Amino acid sequence: MRGVIVTSVAALLLAACGQGDGGNNAGVGEPETNLSAQAGVPSQDLAAVVGANPRLAQLVQAAGMEKVLSGKEPYTILAPTDAALNKLPAGSLDNLDQPAQKAKLTALLRAHILPGTILAADLTRAVENGKGKATIATMAGEPLTIIRDGDAFRITNAAGQSARTTGTEQPARNGVVHSIDTVLAPAS
Amino acid sequence: MKKTFILAGAAALAFTAPVLAQPGKGGGGGNGNGGGKGGPPAAQAQKGGGGGGPQMRGNGGGGQKQARGGGGPQMRGNGGGGPKEMRGGGQQREARGGGQQMRGPERRIERQAQRPQKQDMKQRGPVREARADRGPARIERGNVERQRGGGNERFVQNRGGRDQVDSRVFQREQRITVNNFDGGQRYSYFGSPSFRTTGLVDGCPPGLAAKNNGCLPPGQAKKLVGATLPVALGSALLPIDYRSWYPDNDDYYYRTTDGYVYRVDRDRNYVDGYWPISDDWNGAYYVGATYPQDYLGYYNVPVQYQPWYADNGDDYYRYGDGAIYQVDRGNGLIEGIVSLLAGGFGVGQPMPAGYDVYNVPYEYRDRYVDSPDNWYRYNDGNIYQVDPTTQIVQAIVETLV
């Protein structure tokens, strides 16, 4: 029985590879390879990766979401850079101990968290397959639109705000982090 | 090829089910691993337990209650398990057989007592035992779905049409109640030591009216708790995308109306818990806020997360508004958010917007690769197989827990 399963899996993988255009893992320079983006699982978790930006980490902590980023479930984080946070209106992130601000902050962070692990190669593939754009769900319930922007991606939310990915993706044990240059505030 | 693979994988795991199921253990709710993962590790089979709760014992289920199944002849519904024989009661049923109601605090105590043994098995959460029992059920479900020709209407056809209120008279022994339970039905937060010591009355979240008797939700939902399920609700199944969260099992079935999930004690056909089903995104839940007291007594963590988030001596875990919260037992305040849920996936339904992009976790990418025949998408603890052409969600092929 196990042999049947293994054989079936192998056959499916081979069939998928043979198609050349159906995989998820192909990188920019190698669109015909399904498995090219597979990598070893990193040891550090999302909380550690996000923690490299102390200000962002402080926001995560204020929202009580550290365990979301250190747990077992996979997420993709669109992490605003420090410069992106600085672009917010003055006082936007003040008084985080106040209930109204906590609720607002929680919603803001949720709008930057996506279900599952979405690598840059996956975005590339989806945008190609989607004739130039793709949509991704967020934990705030408002999908984002992704298009190619040079060697990066441009991400637009329902409110019309737009951010560009910066740098390279940062894989984590439980997901991946993409830095973005603008905060994407939820529409509602 | 695809069919061969799925049937072969289902059959293989089905054969392993009797071995993996451990008497006296279990939990879960008819979900599980599958999809050709190669069989769950044996260590997982040793784990068990359900969610537990301050009094409501979670959504157990598992591998031992084979004969009865998740639906029963009359109460089919949200079954997340598949063939009846593959669902089961596991720990709870075993306990009852001994004349004990191993629920709520009692179950917690038992879990704690079992911990040294569990640590020998695998370093995982207190209720990880459930997974192996749930695994075969999940793969069986996929199998049944295939056999029936696609399964797009699986839930509706196979369960919804046969829902009736179970009016059987049960003569089981009385359930154990604890001090903070009113009439053995519902946890009374206001009668609890926590309330008496903290005097916590306010803090009702937005959207719920602050009353002298607590944060009552709008409508009459609360009135149903403690009462026999109205006949009209017998067929009020959960929306399909919630059925894998709250599958009917041996102990409970779940129905909905007016935006609430009602958990019904199968033995007595009696509503013993409720909570809002819809995500209102009204900002009611945040760290430092009081978890709505009307629902605090009901362990409502979606079944696929229960092995990760079981109540313990310090904290409750409760679902609300697209997240699972860690709630302080002492004062009912939300201490942290432990998980975010996106929702929207239901087998047989169109894939929700926002899943154009492959998002399967690293560990599963070698097994679930998009192809012209199948896509795979991760959502809320499960990996789903999707038809690329129709965009219809075909099956849950893997549960991460």
Which of A19, A99, A140 is opposite residue B372, by nearest beta carbon? A19
User: Mutate which of B286, B379, B383, B385 to test chain A, going by most A C-beta atoms within 10 A?
Assistant: B286
Whether A140 contacts chain B with CB within 8 A: yes
Displacement of CA B139 from its chain's centroid (Å): 17
Q: Does A165 score more than 70 pLDDT?
A: yes
Q: Does A138 score more than 70 pLDDT?
A: yes
pLDDT of residue A92: 87
pLDDT of residue A39: 53
Indicate yes or no: CB of B378 within 8 angstroms of CB of A11: no
CATH superfamily entry for domain A42-180: FAS1 domain (2.30.180.10)
Return the higher-pLDDT residue of A51 and B105.
A51
Q: Burial-class residue A145 by CB neighbours within 10 Å (0-12, 13-18, 19+).
A: middle
pLDDT of residue B91: 35
Taking the whole predicted model, whether its pTM rises above 0.80 is answered as no
DSSP B180-224: TEETTTEE-GGGSHHHHHH-----PPTTSEEETTEEEPSSSHHHH
Indicate yes or no: CB of B337 within 8 angstroms of CB of A63: yes
pLDDT of residue B161: 33
Which two structure tokens, joined as six digits, stand for A124? 């590339």
pLDDT of residue B124: 36
Which two structure tokens, joined as six digits, stand for B180? 């903070």
Q: Are B58 and B301 in contact (CB under 8 A)?
A: yes
- How far is the alpha carbon of A99 from chain B, nearest alpha carbon, in Å? 7
Given the DSSP bridges, would you call strands A175-180 and A162-172 parallel, antiparallel or unpaired? antiparallel
Whether A123 contacts chain B with CB within 8 A: yes
Least confident of A105-114, A141-150, B193-202, B319-328: B193-202
Indicate yes or no: CB of B283 within 8 angstroms of CB of A11: no
- How far is the alpha carbon of B39 from chain A, nearest alpha carbon, in Å? 9
Domain range list for chain B: 2-164, 181-340
pLDDT of residue B279: 57
pLDDT bracket for residue A147 (50, 70, 90): very high
pLDDT of residue B282: 57
Domain range list for chain A: 1-38, 42-180
Q: What percent of chain A has pLDDT over 70?
A: 78
Q: Are B118 and B111 in contact (CB under 8 A)?
A: no
User: Can you give the pLDDT of all 401 residues of chain B as single tens digits?
Assistant: 444 444 444 444 433 333 333 333 333 333 333 333 333 333 333 333 333 334 433 343 333 333 333 333 334 445 443 333 333 333 333 333 333 333 433 333 333 434 334 333 333 333 333 333 333 334 333 333 333 333 333 332 333 333 332 332 223 222 322 233 333 333 333 322 222 222 233 344 544 444 333 344 555 677 788 889 888 889 999 999 999 999 999 999 999 988 899 999 999 999 999 998 875 545 678 999 999 988 899 999 999 999 999 999 999 999 998 999 999 999 999 999 999 999 999 999 999 999 999 999 999 999 999 999 999 999 999 999 999 999 999 999 999 97
Indicate yes or no: CB of B338 within 8 angstroms of CB of A68: yes
Distance, in Å, from the CA atom of B218 to the CA atom of B389, rounded to the nearest integer, reads 42
